[in-house]
Structure 1
């Protein structure tokens, strides 16, 4: 894991949450788990080794200094493990690249394919690359062995609601950047006379902050358009389960979209634009609808009650629960 955010994270930290969940699940299955992670990390039952510096985003010099620290650790312990699962830099694996230990290199965003070409030209063995969607895999699978393994959530943390009132709100849950499409969610809510709960952090990047001030904030009235700020896991569960649908009008190639799975875990279907992994995460007419335009999002919302919320949550659990995804990773040990 790249240093910078502790495991488990207290706030932001998607991969750090995954590392924590998988570590705990591996333990439940009887495996011994060591973690090489940021200072301040603590995972019950695991041996935690710290490297690098805490603080996100990491300073460039601190990030560079962490590389030889990771190299030293992996070389020293190269014969201690059956599997090394790397959620950090590909470069971390260099000392053990041609060692017999099984290695999984997991990506969570669009991949620099030039790095893949370079690494597989070197002598290597027992190495497999994974990414959380077929779309994301396609950005890096220029060489080497690749497998799609979806991201996971812990379904035990979510309480599904199998029915909501007709006047239940919609929800938009994401960072309030233009590419996430909050302005479109507001337009859909207003055109269909629905309430909209907006949850997410406001960016400090000047252009994105201006977007919020000019295109989002003027619509927040506390009655139809309600902004609840950033939310923790408990609050997220509360708002998701009371909503009739999540709107996901994204305009970028999202590698997975964890909030979609979280919404489904609460029984709340998702209506999303068909960018990136969205068509893979949403199963049409089971867990929501994939649409190309705002107008078709409005049309899908008109038939959202046709989605069986219990079936939505059940199917999402079958696909994305941490127990399911952990088994997929363990099976890769024999694949490599």
Structure 2
């Protein structure tokens, strides 16, 4: 199958440091190539991929200080995609909604994965005006605020199985917080949970310019006031395995409708349990009492922190391998692609050969049932 993956240009694929969407685009692209598909990746020029790379900016726009507005760069990328659209069986977009007017002639072969929150007021009239494009959500919780649209399914994120090393035991006596310093991510709550539990906390996070005041006025004073809290700063992919794998638990005390929360499955890949507040996707990702604890307050989180030692790290890793690998994610996307009108109209479809230990996906899909995710694909 000839597949175009269209990534945001804010980060490279994969990102050098923080970045969720571009990381998933990279994992999906590499796995589709591994499974024998012809993949073209439209992304920043500093991306690294085994697919054909179409560089649509010199480098990740977030790292290019000469860039003040990312929109023109994405419009130029869409022009390149439109010029080559007829070359592809599937056009898979990861840039939210900018492409819809331009791609109307190709609605039978496009799919858009929505990676962000969907409860923003401006999105309701937009998606009411564009109900036709096929969409994929990354959790069922993410899609709840939306008007009726053309959902292909919910496909949970996945990581390469060998990306992060499994640790049978943690060697560090600390809790981990990994992500962004922003109010919705709850770094203040993480500090409170660690303090109540009497455990050290290490914070590895980036600080966006928009959140600098929040850091200066709220989090930095809390870090200074708690000698058991260490701020590490932004870390890269190679540092994650040690940071997460050696932690007693990952704290994920979000206070917003998180669409997915990639760091949760990164921790699970290391065998590290997750303590998370029950917002957004959390109850879909964490198996309570197996891969972590889903709680409703700081007090419940602090109590759960004392029980993380009762969870088996091997069982956590097995849940990751069963639900959240890149191989599983790619197979679910292939199933979704075959639901697109352009592919369903074919008289015969290819048999997609997979390694012997993974079986094979056989098409056509006209009468076959789809396993889109552990969540409902309705």
Tell whether the structures are fold-level matches, with TM greater than 0.5: yes
Cα distance change of structure 1 residues 65 and 194 upon mapping to structure 2, 3 Å threshold: closer
Looking at structure 2, the residues matched to 100 and 196 of structure 1 have their Cα atoms a distance apart, in angstroms, of 48
What SS class does the counterpart of residue 168 from structure 2 fall into? Answer: coil
For residue 221 of structure 2, what is the aligned residue in structure 1?
A: 214
TM superposition shift of 1:36: 1.6
Mapped partners of 1:71, 1:243: distance in 2: 42
Q: How far has the Cα of 1:284 moved from its partner?
A: 0.5
Is the contact between residue 152 and residue 339 of structure 2 (CA under 8 Å) also seen in structure 1? no
Q: How does 1:319-330 map to 2 (within 5 A)?
A: 319-330=323-334
Structure-2 residue corresponding to 1:305: 309
2:355 match = none
Secondary structure at the counterpart of residue 254 of structure 1: coil
Give the equivalent residue in structure 1 for 2:366.
Answer: none
Q: What SS is found at the alignment partner of 2:180?
A: coil
* TM-score where L is the length of structure 2: 0.79
Three-state SS of the structure 2 residue aligned to 1:174 is: strand
Partners of 1:149 and 1:274 in 2: CA distance: 20
Aligned with 2:36 (options 1, 22, 30)? 30
- 2:78, 2:191 → 1: CA distance? 48
Change (3 A) 1:207 1:119: same
Q: Is the 8 A contact 1:202 1:212 kept in 2?
A: no
Instruction: Tell me whether 1:81 sits opposite 2:127 in the alignment.
Output: no
Contact 1:196 1:226 in 2 (8 A): yes
- For 1:264, the equivalent position in structure 2 comes to 268
Measured in 1, the distance between the counterparts of 2:246 and 2:69 equals: 45
The answer for the alignment partner of 2:198 in structure 1 is 193
Change (3 A) 1:40 1:226: closer
Displacement of 1:139: 2.8
Aligned to 2:144: 138
Q: Cα distance 1:270–1:101, how it changes in 2: closer, same or farther (>3 A)?
A: same
The DSSP-based 3-state class of the residue aligned with 1:56 is helix
CA RMSD of aligned residues (A): 2.3
Measured at CA, do residues 208 and 114 of structure 1 come closer, stay the same or move farther in structure 2, by a change above 3 Å?
Answer: farther
How far off its partner does 1:231 sit? 1.5
Q: Sort the Cα spacing of 1:293 and 1:94 in 2 relative to 1 into closer, same or farther, 3 A.
A: same
Offset at 1:113?
A: 3.0
Number of equivalent positions? 325
* Residue 113 (structure 1) aligned with residue 120 (structure 2): no
Tell me the secondary structure at the aligned position of residue 99 of structure 2: helix
1:175 aligns with 2:180: yes
Equivalent positions of 1:1-336 (< 5 A) are: 1-44=7-50, 46-52=51-57, 54=59, 55-56=61-62, 59=67, 62-64=70-72, 66-67=74-75, 69-99=76-106, 101-111=108-118, 112-120=123-131, 127-164=133-170, 168-204=173-209, 205-219=212-226, 221=227, 224-336=228-340
Corresponding residue SS for 1:271: strand
The answer to whether the Cα contact below 8 Å between 2:197 and 2:303 also exists between their aligned partners in 1 is no
Aligned to 1:290, the other structure's residue is in SS state strand
Pair 1:303–1:214, CA change in 2 (3 A): same
Which consecutive residues of structure 1, in runs of 5 or more, have no partner in the other structure?
A: none
Greater helix share, structure number: 1
Distance in 2, matches of 1:181 and 1:313, equals 25
SS in 1 for 2:81: helix
**Would the alpha carbon gap of residues 186 and 75 (structure 1) be closer, same or farther in structure 2, given more than 3 Å must change?**
closer
The 1:16–1:194 alpha-carbon spacing in structure 2 relative to 1, beyond 3 Å, is: same
In 1, Cα distance between equivalents of 2:129 and 2:285: 31
1:33 alignment partner, SS class: strand
TM-score (norm 1): 0.88
Q: Distance in 2 between matches of 1:281 and 1:252?
A: 15
Quote the Cα distance in structure 2 between the aligned partners of 1:95 and 1:102: 13
Is residue 6–residue 40 contact of structure 1 (8 Å, CA) maintained in 2?
Answer: yes
| TM superposition shift of 1:185 | 2.0
Q: Which moved more, 1:106-115 or 1:255-264?
A: 106-115
Q: What secondary structure does 2:254 align onto? A: coil
